[in-house]
Structure 1
Amino acid sequence: MLDLNMSEFRKDGIDVLTEIMNINSEAVVIIISAVGYEEVKDECIALGAKSYIRKPFDTQVLLNTLEQYK
């Protein structure tokens, strides 16, 4: 699971997603973010994220998503 806003690490989540996918293109990355722009979601999926969950989220949605990739 990866958030897009990672200011405490001085990194952007999209940059981290790109780094992860460059290391392992089969990695299962689920984005959880308050950023609700459809373009951002589409970019994350195009970069390799398996799912994009918007905050605030329903716990059951998260559990169902995790179940898909266990």
Structure 2
Amino acid sequence: MARVLIADDALFARILLRKIFTDAGHEVVGEASTGKEVVEKYAELRPDIVTLDIIMPDMDGIEALKKIIEMDPNAKVIMITSVDSEKKVIECINAGASGYIIKPFEPSQVLSEVNRVLSKRRA
């Protein structure tokens, strides 16, 4: 099972994601509520996978994603957001995101995307 870092400014989203991951046997190694915090926690914890909201205080998720990818080009980051725009999806993928989930989501969607991302290797 994977070591997961959850980044979302909404506490209820972090609680829901923590439950989804722990119920599936994954280990949530950390949580972050700001963009700056997720970058710092990634450096400290080096999780297997990160879920990252786009709209975050102090540094948006796309900027945080870019900093994580600079630090670790093989980082596996899934963007989880209410921003349902093809332009944003493309921007996230170009910045290094491994996956993208639109809120509201079902637990099965989250786990399916996590399993897909964990099973594929990035070039």
TM over 0.5: yes
Match of 1:65 among 110, 113, 119: 113
1:28 equivalent to 2:83? Answer: no
1:5 equivalent to 2:55? Answer: yes
CA distance in 1, matches of 2:87, 2:55: 16
Report the 3-state secondary structure (helix = DSSP H, G, I; strand = E; otherwise coil) of the residue aligned with 1:11. coil
CA distance in 2, matches of 1:39, 1:25: 22
| TM-score under structure 2 length normalisation | 0.53
Give every structure 1 segment of 4 or more consecutive aligned residues whose post-TM-superposition deviation is greater than 2 Å. Answer: none
Deviation at 1:66, TM superposition (A): 1.2
Number of positions where the alignment pairs a residue of Structure 1 with one of Structure 2: 68
Structure 1 residues not aligned, in runs of 5+: none
| TM-score under structure 1 length normalisation | 0.91
1:50 equivalent to 2:98? Answer: yes
Q: Residue type matched to 1:4 in 2?
A: I
Identical residues among aligned pairs (%): 37
Structure 2 residues not aligned, in runs of 5+: 1-50
CA distance in 2, matches of 1:28, 1:22: 12
Match of 1:17 among 65, 75, 85: 65
CA distance in 2, matches of 1:43, 1:2: 14
